Amino acid sequence: MKILANDGISAVGKAALEKDGFEVLTTFVAQDQLANFINNNQIEVLIVRSATQVRKDLIDQTNLKIIGRAGVGMDNIDVEYAQSKGLKVINTPASSSASVGEMVMAHIYSIYRNLHKSNRAMPLEGDSKFKELKKTYGNAQEIRGKTLGIIGLGRIGREVAKCAIGAGMNVIGYSATTKEIDVPIDFFDGQSLNFKVVAQPLAEVIRNSDIITLHVPAQKKPIIGEKEISQMKDGSVIINTARGGVVDEISILEAIEDGKLLGAALDVFETEPTPSIKLLMNDNLSLSPHLGGSTREAQDRIGLELAEQISAFYNIN
């Protein structure tokens, strides 16, 4: 039985699949060649991340049995159509949550401590304007005591809440489906404390947050646009590690230029993988190339979780 991990798979995940008798191919195949490659190599399982599209035409042209998403969001897969054709569609919703939570905090610290700016300036002027840079970027803020508004209180939202509470932040949130969530925080010495985040109306979260972070699926229109930004606190921050398009990037840039927003962090983009040059050149933005779940630990968990689901499908072990 052959598996194509077209966007890669961790070494431990590959090893687990090979231990169960699967042949795992990790050669990247271009989208327009994918159907032929799958058919010519008798691939039964296709594993993808966000780069490879698994649409109706690919499903119709191949004899796949399983489509696996190495991650959470499956907007690059025609899930309902695949299931209607009898395919098993799997993903790994829990494996990368902690990594995304840490990425959110990294961006928050970056903006509040001016790291997103000083990291650009130091290689250019650090040897000649060290004191000036110290004075400019020393006008920073602590995040302790700030209010973090989490839009989307699922697995990732819960992990973000854990990190934020641990950092001394006040956490509020909005959810279309959940009234409240438990936020258990486990410490290194075995102790554990449990907190609760009660969902509030979206307008309240927008109005009362110093920082807003979004953890929702892809949307038909932005959740945060010009109207919502106008209702936010002056000097607030927006973080998007969810999907491109859930925030209006143009409105963010305008709000930064007007001084309404202190800054913003984007890990995902409307025109990914070719973000707007206006975004890339704006030093009030903390930017990363869709790295939310990209840690070694998360990729190992993802690989193992996929391996378990695939082996279970074939009744192995």
Convert the pLDDT of each residue in 240-251 to its tens digit.
999 999 999 999
φ and ψ at 245, to 5 degrees? 100, -15
Bond into 275 cis (ω within 30): no
Cross-sheet strand order for the sheet of 2-5: 23-25, 2-5, 43-48, 66-69, 88-91
Q: What is the pLDDT of residue 75?
A: 87
Q: Are strands 211-214 and 236-240 parallel, antiparallel or unpaired?
A: parallel
Which residues belong to the active site?
243, 272, 290
Do 136 and 278 belong together in one domain? yes
Q: Are 158 and 181 in contact (CB under 8 A)?
A: yes
Do 127 and 274 belong together in one domain? yes
Do 11 and 53 belong together in one domain? yes
The encoded tokens of residue 223 equal: 């959740």
H/E segment holding residue 45: strand 43-48
Query: What distance in Å separates the CA atoms of residue 291 and residue 54, rounded to the nearest whole number?
Result: 21
The encoded tokens of residue 232 equal: 């936010």
Q: Which domain holds residue 75?
A: 2-95+296-313
Query: What distance in Å separates the CA atoms of residue 299 and residue 77, rounded to the nearest whole number?
Result: 20
Do 144 and 258 belong together in one domain? yes
Is residue 68 packed enough to be buried (19+ CB in 10 Å), middle (13-18) or exposed (0-12)? buried
Do 128 and 274 belong together in one domain? yes
- Total structural domains within the chain: 2
Do 254 and 301 belong together in one domain? no
Do 103 and 117 belong together in one domain? yes
The tokens 């699926």 sit on which residue?
A: 217
Do 226 and 181 belong together in one domain? yes
Query: What distance in Å separates the CA atoms of residue 270 and residue 276, rounded to the nearest whole number?
Result: 9
| CATH number for position 17 | 3.40.50.720
Convert the pLDDT of each residue in 181-216 to its tens digit.
999 999 999 999 999 999 999 999 999 999 999 999
Q: What is the pLDDT of residue 38?
A: 97
Do 104 and 89 belong together in one domain? no
Do 223 and 304 belong together in one domain? no
Do 125 and 84 belong together in one domain? no
Query: What distance in Å separates the CA atoms of residue 40 and residue 36, rounded to the nearest whole number?
Result: 6
What is the pLDDT of the chain when averaged over all its residues? 96
Do 105 and 57 belong together in one domain? no
In order, the DSSP letters of 161-216 are: HHHHHHTT-EEEEE-SS-SEEEEEEE-TTS-EEEEEEEB--HHHHHHH-SEEEE--
Cross-sheet strand order for the sheet of 236-240: 170-174, 147-151, 211-214, 236-240, 261-266, 285-287
Regions of the chain short of the pLDDT cut 70: 317
